[in-house]
C-alpha cells in the first residue's frame, strides 16, 4: 500500500481515497440519472372536451398568460412570446404560445396543454421552471383547461422562435427542478369554505390560484422556493428591480385599505393616500386586474382584507351580480345575469 504523510501529521491512504472519490462520483451520477429519469407527469384524458372561448379568455387574462407571454411594451403580437424576466437565477424568456405548429404550441393536444399548465411538465416530460407560475394553477378544473385551450386557439399563429433561457449554474440543470418541486410545490388553497361569503371564496380562488399574487408578494429562498412562513409578506427582489410590499391582512388594514378602495386600486392603481402604484404592479393592473369584472376585484379585496379566522362581510347588492357572473365555474353556484 502506498502511503503519504499529510501536512497535519496524519497518514493518508491514497488508494482508499481515490476509490472513495470514484465511488462517490458513480453514486452522484447514478443519483442524477435516477432524478432525471424520475417521471413527474400524471396522465390526463381530456381528449376533445369542448371549451368556451370567452370563459377561457377571461381566465387567460386573470391568470396572467396574456401579460407574460406578450411583449406589450415592444408592441409584440398577442401570445407570441413575452419580455424577458431578469431574476437572481438568470434570464427567463416566456415562450410563443400561439397556434404556430413550429414555434408555438400549434402541434399540441389539449391533454399536453393541461399537463403543462396544471403540472408544470413539458411535452418531453421535463419540468418547467417555476418562473412559469404553474404551482398556482394546479386547481384549475378540466373545464377551465378546455376553455383556456379554446381561447388560446383563437389567437393568430405567429411564426417567431423564442430565445432560450439564459440561466446561472446550477439553475441551468433542469433535472434539478424535480428536487425543487418535491421540496416546494404544494396544492393551491382554493377550495371554497362553506362559512365564508361568495366574494371571499371567489377572492380565495383568484388570489391563491389564477391571479397568483403570492408569486410576487411572497419572498423566495435561495433556490427560488416560496417562503411558506412568509406568505404575502412582500418581496424586495423582483425581476426588473421593483419591490412588492406586504399584502398581509394586518399590513393592508394598517395602511388604510378597504374593499372599496382596493377594488378601485386594482383598476386605477390609486392607493388610499393618493399615490399611484408603479413598478411591476402598474403592469399587473393595466394588463391583468384592470380587465377583470368589478365583482372579481372586490372579491380579491374581500379575501385579502378578511383577517384569518373571521367570516367576511358580503358584498353590497349592486356588486353581487357581477361577482356571480365571474364565478360560473364554481360548483353549486348559479350564474346570475346582470
Partner 1 sequence: MKRSITIGAIIVSWLGAAALAHSGATGVVLERMNGMSAMKKVMGELAPMMRGEVPYDVAAAQKGAATIMAHAGGGMVKLFPEEAIPATSYAVPALWDRWDDFSDLADLLESQAFGLAMAIPNGLKAPQPPSPPHDMEAMNNMADMVGMTDAVAQPSQDLTVAQLMGVEPTADAHTSATVLPEERESSSLDYTMMAAPAAFERVSQTCAACHSQFRRGS
Contact pattern from residue 189 through residue 228 relative to partner 1, giving x for each residue in contact according to CB under 8 A and a dash for the rest: ----------------------------------------
Minimal distance, residue 318 CB to partner 1, in Å:
10
Strand partners, 220: 226
Q: Which of 12, 34, 173, 260 binds partner 1 (CB under 8 A)?
A: 260
The verdict on 61 binding partner 1 (CB under 8 A) reads yes
3-state SS, residue 280: helix
Q: How far is the CB of 278 from partner 1 (least distance, A)?
A: 3
Distance CA 129, CA 69 (A): 15
Q: Would you say 232 or 264 has its CB closer to partner 1?
A: 264
Residue 269: CA count within 13 A, CB half-sphere: 14
Select the span of 18-26, 35-43, 86-94, 289-297 touching partner 1 (CB under 8 A): 289-297
Per the CB < 8 A criterion, the answer to whether 142 and 173 are in contact is no
Binding partner 1 (rule: CB under 8 A), the pick from 121, 244, 301, 305 is 244
Which of 235, 195, 63 is CA-nearest to residue 138? 63
Which of 270, 228, 230, 253 lies closest to 306 in space, CA to CA?
253
57 binds partner 1 (CB under 8 A): yes
Residues 6+ apart with CB under 8 A from 261: 270, 271, 272
**Residue written as cell 353590497?**
316
- Interacting residues toward partner 1 by CB under 8 A: 53-54, 57-58, 60-61, 66, 70, 72, 75, 78-79, 151-152, 154-156, 241-245, 260-261, 264, 267-270, 272-283, 285-286, 290-294, 322, 338
Amino acid at each position: 500500500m502506498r502511503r503519504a504523510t499529510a501536512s497535519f501529521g496524519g497518514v493518508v491512504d491514497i488508494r482508499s481515497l481515490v476509490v472513495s472519490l470514484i465511488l462517490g462520483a458513480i453514486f452522484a451520477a447514478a443519483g442524477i440519472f435516477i432524478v432525471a429519469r424520475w417521471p413527474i407527469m400524471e396522465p390526463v384524458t381530456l381528449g376533445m372536451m369542448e371549451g368556451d372561448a370567452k370563459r377561457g379568455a377571461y381566465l387567460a387574462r386573470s391568470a396572467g398568460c396574456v401579460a407574460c407571454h406578450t411583449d406589450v411594451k415592444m408592441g409584440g403580437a398577442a401570445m407570441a412570446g413575452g419580455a424577458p424576466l431578469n431574476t437572481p437565477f438568470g434570464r427567463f424568456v416566456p415562450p410563443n404560445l400561439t397556434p404556430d405548429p413550429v414555434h408555438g404550441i400549434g402541434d399540441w393536444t389539449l391533454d399536453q396543454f393541461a399537463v403543462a399548465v396544471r403540472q408544470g411538465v413539458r411535452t418531453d416530460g421535463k419540468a418547467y421552471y417555476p418562473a412559469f407560475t404553474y404551482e398556482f394553477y394546479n386547481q384549475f378544473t378540466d373545464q377551465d383547461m378546455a376553455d383556456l385551450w379554446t381561447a388560446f386557439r383563437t389567437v393568430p399563429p405567429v411564426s417567431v422562435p423564442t430565445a432560450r433561457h439564459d440561466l446561472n449554474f446550477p439553475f441551468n440543470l433542469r433535472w434539478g427542478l424535480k428536487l425543487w418541486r418535491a421540496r416546494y410545490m404544494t396544492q393551491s388553497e382554493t377550495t371554497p369554505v362553506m362559512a365564508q361569503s361568495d366574494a371571499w371564496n371567489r377572492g380565495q380562488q383568484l388570489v391563491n390560484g389564477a391571479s397568483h399574487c403570492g408569486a410576487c408578494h411572497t419572498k423566495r429562498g435561495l433556490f427560488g422556493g416560496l417562503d411558506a412562513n412568509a406568505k404575502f409578506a412582500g418581496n424586495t427582489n423582483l425581476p426588473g428591480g421593483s419591490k412588492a410590499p406586504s399584502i398581509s391582512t394586518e399590513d393592508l388594514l394598517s395602511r388604510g385599505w378597504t374593499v372599496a378602495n382596493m377594488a378601485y386600486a386594482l383598476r386605477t392603481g390609486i392607493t388610499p393616500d393618493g399615490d399611484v402604484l408603479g413598478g411591476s404592479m402598474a403592469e399587473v393592473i393595466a394588463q391583468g386586474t384592470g380587465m377583470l369584472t368589478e365583482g372579481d376585484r372586490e372579491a380579491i379585496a374581500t379575501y385579502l382584507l378578511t383577517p384569518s379566522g373571521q367570516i367576511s362581510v358580503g358584498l353590497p347588492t349592486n356588486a353581487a351580480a357581477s361577482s356571480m357572473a365571474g364565478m360560473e365555474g364554481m360548483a353549486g353556484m348559479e350564474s346570475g345575469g346582470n
